Amino acid sequence: MQDYHEFLADILIPKEILQKRVMELGVQISQDYAGKEPILICILRGGVMFLTDLMRSISIPHSIEFMAVSSYGSGRRESSGSVRITLDLGVNIESRHVILVEDIIDSGRTISSVLELLSARHPDTLRVCTLLDKAERREVEVPIAYRGFTIPDRFVFGYGLDIDEFYRNLPFIGVVDLARYNLGTEPVNDEVD
């Protein structure tokens, strides 16, 4: 794998700023859901790092669940929006307070399909918490209850977000210079994450 320094255009959100904002979101969720025992649902795999940091800042009782979805006919860097569940939840969410935890909302297609699938299971409440919002790319309107940062239309990586499945481990959000990124490898799978 290429050393990320070779294609890092700039660091969009440094580690310290990320950590501070994630903590604020956790505090906000703790206040809003006091007495409610929400369930945080993370869409694999991009949201994992955000989820684990977020939970550390949530002081009220809550549980976590994971799901994975695939996007039909997706391009390499974008989703088609028509999703299929490849890993379903292990619990029934009927009458639960659900918070969907996402790494990034781009066109909004993935999350709106997931919201549709989950609302058919009749949770008591269903809200979206996203770390990043690429707002100017939105094609489908998505109600966002918790938003870490609104970012420009650039391809970003790190802190859970991948480029062709790698670099998720980096503690910051970086911008890819696509001209300097080696485009020789194919994506590992068609999952949207």
Answer yes or no whether residue 193 interacts with Mg ion by CB under 5 A: yes
Residue 106: active-site member: yes
Answer yes or no whether residue 102 interacts with Mg ion by CB under 5 A: no
Order of strands across the sheet that contains 8-13: 8-13, 173-176, 156-157
CA–CA separation, 12 and 151 (whole Å):
8
Rounded least distance, CB 155 to ligand IMP, Å: 4
Angle between helices 15-32 and 48-56 (to 10 degrees): 60
Answer yes or no whether residue 74 interacts with ligand IMP by CB under 6 A: no
**Chain residues 35-94 in contact with Mg ion, contact rule CB under 5 A:** none
Provide the 8-state DSSP code for 170: -
Helix/strand/coil for 140 = coil
What is the pattern of x (binds ligand IMP, CB under 6 A) and - over residues 109-138?
xxx----------------------x----
Answer yes or no whether residue 107 interacts with ligand IMP by CB under 6 A: yes
Helix ranges (H only) for the chain are: 15-32, 48-56, 109-119
Rounded least distance, CB 125 to ligand IMP, Å: 22
**Which is nearer to ligand IMP, 48 or 104 (by Cβ)?**
104
Rounded alpha-carbon distances, angstroms, from residue 193 to 1, 31, 82, 94, 150: 20, 28, 14, 25, 18
> Left (φ > 0), alpha (ψ -120 to 50) or beta: where does 95 sit?
left
Options 53, 103, 106, 164, the catalytic residue? 106
CA–CA separation, 108 and 178 (whole Å):
22
- How many residues contact ligand IMP, by CB under 6 A? 20
**Which is nearer to Mg ion, 30 or 86 (by Cβ)?**
86
**Chain residues 106-165 in contact with Mg ion, contact rule CB under 5 A:** 162
Which residues are near Mg ion by CB under 5 A? Answer: 162, 193
Active site residues: 106
Which residues are near ligand IMP by CB under 6 A? Answer: 46, 78-79, 81, 103-111, 134, 155-157, 161, 192-193
